């Protein structure tokens, strides 16, 4: 039986569907749920743009991280290719990751999940998700599937594929 669910989110639409499924399951089974996010250190700005609601997240991140930016950029590309120092970029990523997890947790509670916690870790996507699952004692992982394109998926595999292959518990992949 399922007793603890981990849902991984990157703030994308597909991850949102994964959060909704996990929250519904957690509510119906009356089990705890952890919303996890892996910080995107080294991620390209284009990937960060896809990751979250860029315009809203950039303004929130710049404000919360107390970044010294004269004009708040309009998207992730402008935020991370501008004049920010390495330390400011790291701080911005941490704030963004915490907010992505917090928003997903709020959504899960709105759906009816009662016991919802968040966890944010550094690392590769798949390894970070697997580490969180082990740390929280999850016996189910819910992840969203993001299309990479046929060639890229063949060469490097997707995060959901890697998690599915390496997890020691049930994995549900949401499209």
What φ, ψ does residue 167 adopt, rounded to 5°? -70, 150
The Cα–Cα gap between 110 and 100 comes to: 16
pLDDT tens for 31-66 read: 999 999 998 655 554 555 555 444 456 556 666 766
* pLDDT at residue 77, as a whole number: 57
* pLDDT at residue 105, as a whole number: 97
* pLDDT at residue 34, as a whole number: 98
* pLDDT at residue 54, as a whole number: 45
* pLDDT at residue 116, as a whole number: 98
DSSP 142-174: EEE-----HHHHHHH--HHHHHHHH-SSEEEEE
Q: For the chain, how are helix, strand and coil distributed in percent, rounded to 5?
A: 55, 15, 30
Global pTM reads: 0.78
Q: Which segments in the chain show pLDDT lower than 50?
A: 45, 52-55, 70-72, 147-149, 151-156
* pLDDT at residue 149, as a whole number: 47
């Amino acid at each position: 039986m399922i007793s603890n669910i981990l849902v991984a989110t990157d703030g994308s639409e597909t991850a949102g569907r994964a959060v909704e499924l996990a929250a519904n399951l957690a509510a119906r089974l009356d089990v705890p749920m952890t919303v996890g996010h892996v910080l995107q250190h080294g991620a390209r700005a284009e990937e960060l743009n896809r990751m979250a609601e860029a315009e809203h997240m950039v303004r929130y991140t710049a404000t919360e991280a107390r970044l010294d930016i004269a004009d708040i950029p309009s998207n992730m590309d402008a935020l991370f290719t501008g004049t920010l120092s390495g330390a400011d970029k790291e701080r911005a990523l941490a704030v963004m990751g915490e907010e992505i997890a917090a928003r997903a947790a709020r959504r899960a509670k709105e759906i009816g999940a009662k016991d919802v916690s968040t966890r944010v870790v550094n690392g590769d996507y798949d390894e970070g998700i697997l580490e969180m699952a082990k740390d929280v004692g999850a016996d189910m992982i819910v992840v969203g599937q993001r299309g990479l394109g046929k060639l890229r998926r063949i060469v490097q595999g997707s995060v959901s594929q890697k998690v599915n292959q390496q997890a020691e518990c049930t994995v549900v992949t949401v499209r």
